[in-house]
Amino acid sequence: MRTKRNYIEKAFGTEPEWVDTQEEVDPTDILKAINWYNSNSQRRNYKKWTLTWMKDKRSSWSKEDIQCVRKCPLKSFRPFGHYCRMLSRGFPEVDQLTKIVDTNINNLINVGKNVEEKKTPTVSPRERMENQVSELAGELMNVCDCVLLSIREKTIYHKSVDVYRWLEGKDVTYWQAEMLSHIFAPALAELDQLVNEDDKQLKDGYSFLTRQQQKYLYKFMNGLIDSCLKYFNDKKPVRKKRKTNPTKMIVKVKYLKESKEFGIKSVSPSEILDSKKVLVFNCRYKTLSVYYACSGQRMSVKGTTIQNFDLDKSQTRTIKNASKEISSVRDEKSFESLWSRQTSVVKSANGRLNENCVILKAF
């Protein structure tokens, strides 16, 4: 590389440079300089040289002008890029040369502004999704046309079409499969009405098919919808529920750990979590509450309140001779025995716990 540079310097000299030139420049010097750049310079640098000159203190181009010119392609700088290099290296501002530079730069500024104005229209995610589904629906419609042709010509093609595999082969997403089921649902509803109801207009419209062929088409469309919905359920990601730390759930629970007056101790509030039945005794009012979990659910705790209990089944009543009776509750059988012996009014349980409550049992 150095040998090549040395050869160029011997043949054409080094790159022209002017320092503090006040005298009028000889036209032959201008031609020599231009010939040097035409013979030796790499034209991919012309854009960089133009931008460098526009940033020079001696020029009067704004930052907005520079940004517009920066957007222009490299080939736009070929007619004048070397003149900008000459000006940057101290060449005096000759009217003819500077006029060429200014004219070309102004043209590029206008080009850059037009590039900025012609912004590509943005497509919203919803529009993009609808376009993708429309294309898939069109392809699936072609499959339906082939199936209809197969039914009419009595070939076995319509029996071999697997819509589920077709969806997999197209890398259809689960939400696209659901949208496809909505698109083809009206066609299935029409065929259902044709096969199962006496509609003269539909019968005339599908008169080109025999009764058996109409049933074949209905069966295929029904399978198409089922395949789309099955694909949706199979591919839809299942979000894992965060496991809640039991310690954090019961940290605010207020309860009485032990009552010497009634000879009872409380179980840990953590036992309420995921339980189906909970017994709570209020030592102040001598009331016993039984909580039943809602159907298909397990109880939980939020703050100082029991959650997910059945409001209709859960009850509260005052216990007579509580100082003797309540300590006998050790299991569900002993609780049922105590509860059946009471004659007090039954009220609805509110689920609230406080510092007077002993959590007797959790089943």
Q: What digits encode the pLDDT tens for the residues 68-114? A: 888 888 888 888 888 888 888 888 777 788 888 888 998 988 888 88
Q: Binning pLDDT at 50, 70 and 90, where does residue 164 land? A: very high
Q: What is the number of alpha carbons within 13 Å of residue 234 lying toward its C-beta?
A: 12
Q: What is the pTM of this model?
A: 0.40
pLDDT for the residue numbered 1: 44
Contact 283, 358 (CB under 8 A): yes
Contact 258, 318 (CB under 8 A): no
Which DSSP symbol is given to 359?
A: E
Beta-strand relationship, 287-292 and 357-362: unpaired
Residue 131 has pLDDT above 60, yes or no: yes
Q: Binning pLDDT at 50, 70 and 90, where does residue 4 land? A: very low
Q: Binning pLDDT at 50, 70 and 90, where does residue 360 land? A: confident
What's the mean pLDDT in 115-123? 62
Tokens 């039914």 belong to residue: 151
Residue 350 has pLDDT above 80, yes or no: yes
What's the mean pLDDT in 178-192? 89
Surface-to-core class of residue 6, CB atoms within 10 Å of its CB (0-12 exposed, 13-18 middle, 19+ buried): exposed
Residue 285 has pLDDT above 50, yes or no: yes
